[in-house]
Amino acid sequence: MSEWPPAPAGLPAAVADAHCHLDMGSGKSHNSLDLDKDADIFQYLVDTAAEVNVTQMINVGCEVPGARFAIEMAKRYPTIHAAVALHPNEAPRLVEEGGINAFEEAWLEIEQLAQDPGCVAVGETGLDFYRTSGIGLEVQEESFRRHIRLAKKLNKTLMIHDREAHQDILRVVDEEGTPEKVMMHCFSGDAKFAKQCLERGYYLSFAGTVTFKNADSLRAALKVTDQDHILVETDAPFLTPVPHRGAPNAGFLIPHTMRFMAEVRSEDLTELCNAVMANTKQAFGI
């Protein structure tokens, strides 16, 4: 598949991609892929990832069509698991374009989809102060609170999207009561914020951003994260790690991120892989 960079050398032990968007393919088209028509693409992504020891994936649907897709894909591929939610930017968009009824209708379907056995997490949900402002923030926070309650009700992992909203994320979760398992998707904070999350028992998931030249504060956060709470993800097709930054991302590029993380933490790569896989299984019950 020419859209993606070549796969690197495989990892010495298996890991899982804790967050990806397979319906977006390479991200070069605005149209989501079709499970049947694009089956060859999905098989390529799954098989190539397995060849480099990325053996499982959490596929995230963060609006109603994407959530439906994620559930169906989990039924067809035994190594792929679903997470469903209304993205922090999707909730205000629904209200803006269709009124509160559009949001309520979407929310009812997310509630139903989240109960599917193939769904292992409620997310990605949270707060995004980069793209949303004004009245949209009220809708966003209400949506976040509903997702927290749903995760607790279903006893499923809460997968959090946090963009420029660190302390408000903590405030809302603290107010609602922390679910048993919480994952900070694509962790973006510094060492101080990492410690605040770890004190609450959150898993911190690191993406290709940790390899970026300007990510010193993120690498400091990686260093202070105990081995029992580290996850790795792609957020594919976005956030491709160095040396392929800017190209489409995929699960089979995780070895670049894992090797970089092991180097930053001065840890044995096999040991870190084993820890990440154990954490992923614990976090999602897979």
Mean pLDDT taken over the chain: 97
Domains of the chain, residue spans: 15-284
Whether residue 29 is predicted with pLDDT greater than 80 in this model: the reply is no
Question: Is the separation of the CB atoms in 48 and 7 below 8 Å?
Answer: yes
266, two tokens: 């001065």
Give the mean model confidence (pLDDT) for residues 15-32. Answer: 90
Q: What would the pLDDT profile of 110-152 be if each residue is shown by its tens digit?
A: 999 999 999 999 999 999 998 777 778 999 999 999 999 999 9
Which residues make beta-bridge pairs with 122? 84, 158
Neighbours of 271 (CB within 10 A): 14
Q: What would the pLDDT profile of 145-174 be if each residue is shown by its tens digit?
A: 999 999 999 999 999 999 999 999 999 999
212, two tokens: 């970026």
The secondary element (H helix, E strand) that includes residue 110 is: helix 90-113
% of the chain beyond a pLDDT of 90: 94
Contacts of 43 (CB under 8 A, 6+ apart): none
CATH number, domain 15-284: 3.20.20.140
Which residues make beta-bridge pairs with 230? 204
Pairwise CA distance, residues 275 & 101, whole Å? 44
Per-residue pLDDT band at 30 (split at 50, 70, 90): low
Sheet containing strand 230-232, strands side by side: 15-20, 54-61, 80-84, 119-128, 157-163, 182-184, 203-206, 230-232
Contacts of 88 (CB under 8 A, 6+ apart): 124, 125, 126, 127, 128, 132, 140, 143, 144, 161, 163
> Rounded to whole angstroms, what are the CA distances from 112 to 64, 87, 278?
11, 16, 29
